[in-house]
Structure 1
Amino acid sequence: MKKNRLETFSDGVLAIIITIMVLELKVPEGYEFKNLAILAPKFLSYVLSFIYLAIYWNNHHHLMHTVNKLTSGILWANMNLLFWLSLIPFTTAWVGENITHCDPMSLYGFILLMAAVSYWLLSNRIIDSEGNKSLLLKAIGKDFKGKISIVIYAIGILSLQFVSWIAPILYILVAILWIIPDRRIKNNLT
């Protein structure tokens, strides 16, 4: 299999995930702007999830540029990532309906955590397939940014047992950390 087939499939899955997510936003009763206020929690959870999906799409694009040869490990690691990303619309909808409750926010954080771990695994499968000559290894080094994201998600999930407002702030913090595409890869490709 050529990597463009993997990229096309992944792009299609992400497009479907975003489409499913936006279809969860329902039109409110009424015809005035004040009727939109009830949708604020749903819209905020949608915006954050959309940003996360855009981050993954963008960084996945850069990641695939480092692949010279696909292996079954890369294919399965990519499917693992897509699996966790495909659960984002479900957790986004649940958080949007119950934004102040710990269980939906905890599950949302767990899905983000598993997506981050899956991205890390995919990166490692790519590095393993390329060996010491790996462009990705050269670009990300010890991958502090990836590892600290995983730690922040875990802290966010654990914080929900004590102070519920910390977790959403930590989830937003990770999004801010990644909002600018990972230039480490791009800079090493040129």
Structure 2
Amino acid sequence: MEKNRLESFSDGVLAIIITIMVLGLGVPQGHNLSDLYPLIPIFLGYILSFIYVGIYWNNHHHLLKTTNKISGTTLWINLILLFWLSLFPFTTAWMAESNFSTWPTAFYGIVLLMAAIFYFVLQYHIISLEGEKSTLKIAIGNNLKGKISLILYVLAIVFAFIIPPIAQGIFVLVALIWLIPDKRIENLLD
């Protein structure tokens, strides 16, 4: 398979994920501005998950720009990554509609952790296909940002059972870390 088919399929899945999330926002029950108040947690959850999907979409695009080879294993790892990302609408809705309570927050963290793990696996699989001198290997180096993210997700899951707002703060922190434009791949490809 050519990488453009893999990228197109992944882009389509991510677009559907965003569509499902926005459809889950619901409509206020009433005609006053105050009727939006109960939807604030749902909207905040949507914003956070939208940012995460955007981060994955952007980084996935750059990741595939670095590779020349797509194997059957690449397809399966990518599909598993998309599986975890496809759970974002469910976990986002559950966490937000429960007012960010313990188990929904922990489950949201587990889904974020699993998506990050499989993105990490996809990166290293591509490096194994392309070799240690691959553009991706040179660009990500020791992948400190990725490793820190995994640790923070584990911490967030633990905090979900102790103080859920700290867990949610960690989710926001990781999103902010990845929102900072990462030019490593772009700089190597230019």
- Quickly name the TM-score band, shorter chain normalised: over 0.9
**Deviations for 1:19-59, whole angstroms, at most 9, x for unmatched residues?**
11111111111111110011000000000000000000001
Alignment partner of 1:85 is 2:85:
yes
Percentage identity across aligned positions?
A: 55
- Separation in 1, partners of 2:39, 2:94: 13
Equivalent position of 1:121 in the other structure: 121
Equivalent position of 2:70 in the other structure: 70
- Separation in 1, partners of 2:180, 2:146: 14
Offset, 1:165: 1.4
Matches within 5 A, 1:1-190: 1-190=1-190
List alignment gaps of at least 5 residues for structure 1. none
- Separation in 2, partners of 1:120, 1:77: 10
Q: Which runs of 4+ in 1 moved over 2 A?
A: none
Give aligned pairs, total: 190
- Separation in 1, partners of 2:19, 2:92: 13
For structure 1, which segment, 178-187 or 119-128, has the greater mean C-alpha deviation from structure 2 after superposition? 178-187
Name the TM-score, length of structure 1 as normaliser. 0.98
Task: Tell me if structure 2 keeps the 8 A contact 1:87–1:111.
Answer: yes
SS at match of 1:162: coil
Name the TM-score, length of structure 2 as normaliser. 0.98
- Separation in 1, partners of 2:132, 2:30: 61
**Deviations for 1:61-85, whole angstroms, at most 9, x for unmatched residues?**
1000001111122111111110000
- Separation in 2, partners of 1:18, 1:28: 20
- Separation in 1, partners of 2:132, 2:178: 26
Task: Tell me if structure 2 keeps the 8 A contact 1:58–1:181.
Answer: no
